[in-house]
Structure 1
């Protein structure tokens, strides 16, 4: 189940990269070849501070988690896990260098179309709905997908995404049937606690 969730996140990151490459030509400058792959250290989960609020000063946001939760930072992503170290919520921040927020609507529309197409192709996710909403007062989209688990069982994948200060902020959470994850009931409130600083 965790590998399926990691696959979803990978698909979303890849989708964002495709959208950025299409919408923002020249964004990715050629890199000189390196001698070989550099090993990437595995991020280590850390307990969320005692007050329950994780603060990301680099990208300017905060998320409040239930007692006993953990956070793991990896580049531009932070994921939040329940006491059993099961990922429940993820926040991705993808900078848009050289672009103003005037293109925000175009970026969000393209991102939504890419998510829907890629999630269906890669993991059989069915698009349920997309609506305009806000992410802490910033115009955003919220897209909901239904994803197969086993047999007839499915889980819901919810993602809200907005453009602020030349970056795309994506706040994702899962909604599993109770028998799959006892802590998942806290995922939606944790995702909804997202606040810009």
Structure 2
């Protein structure tokens, strides 16, 4: 049961990417139209993401979206579409980076404000998260927001979910990490430093 609880943040982030597209019409890149009434959808099987060891120097580089994250020795990364998540040696997800293209003429401030609303509403509905705070920050020199949420685990225990998000060159970057109470995940102490190592190339 503990493993399921620890991974709930990772499961939620996948939903957030979908909600972002639904709740922010016009901010995502154009999508091809769906099948018509006489054209049935083509079934597809999603590939199973593969855990890959972070390179020996500890730095993962994402060339398509132009960013890098440095992780401790023994960590893994998994690429799935526009998301990359970073797992500790026991395979628990600790950090995730989501990228979502927006319209070229989208106003970054409006995108960030919409993300504020989306994250607060979706996290409350999805995992009963309580919004704690939102502040204006800089994500490697780019104007950004940092939102903090408190999420129930079991009994009175809660974990903290931190999201930093910015818009740069027509792409939203959301950098997320979890902070668990002592005893839940011995590797979690490395999550915040790994997330804060995020930098643009």
| Residue 122 (structure 1) shift | 1.7
> Residues 27 and 111 of structure 2 are in contact (CA less than 8 Å); yes or no, is this contact kept in structure 1?
no
Give the alignment partner of residue 78 of structure 2, picking from 72, 83, 93: 72
| Residue 24 (structure 1) shift | 3.7
| Residue 105 (structure 1) shift | 0.3
| Residue 168 (structure 1) shift | 0.4
**2-side partners of 1:93 and 1:62: how far apart?**
13
1:30 to 2:33 alignment = yes
Q: Structure 1 82/30 Cα, relative in aligned 2: closer, same or farther at 3 Å?
A: same
Give the alignment partner of residue 62 of structure 1, picking from 58, 68, 71: 68
Q: Structure 1 72/24 Cα, relative in aligned 2: closer, same or farther at 3 Å?
A: closer
What's 2:124 paired with? 120
What's 1:4 paired with? 8
> Residues 54 and 76 of structure 2 are in contact (CA less than 8 Å); yes or no, is this contact kept in structure 1?
yes
What's 2:158 paired with? 154
Q: Structure 1 188/34 Cα, relative in aligned 2: closer, same or farther at 3 Å?
A: farther
**1-side partners of 2:41 and 2:114: how far apart?**
35
| Residue 14 (structure 1) shift | 2.6
1:104 to 2:75 alignment = no
**1-side partners of 2:159 and 2:196: how far apart?**
18
Ranges in structure 2 where 5+ consecutive residues have no aligned partner: none
Q: For 1:182, what is the secondary structure of its paired residue?
A: coil
Q: For 2:184, what is the secondary structure of its paired residue?
A: coil
Q: For 2:96, what is the secondary structure of its paired residue?
A: strand
> Residues 93 and 170 of structure 1 are in contact (CA less than 8 Å); yes or no, is this contact kept in structure 2?
yes
Give per-residue Cα distances to partners, 1:136-176, cap 9 Å, x unaligned: 00000000000000000000000000000100000000000
TM-score, normalised relative to structure 2? 0.90
> Residues 124 and 147 of structure 1 are in contact (CA less than 8 Å); yes or no, is this contact kept in structure 2?
yes
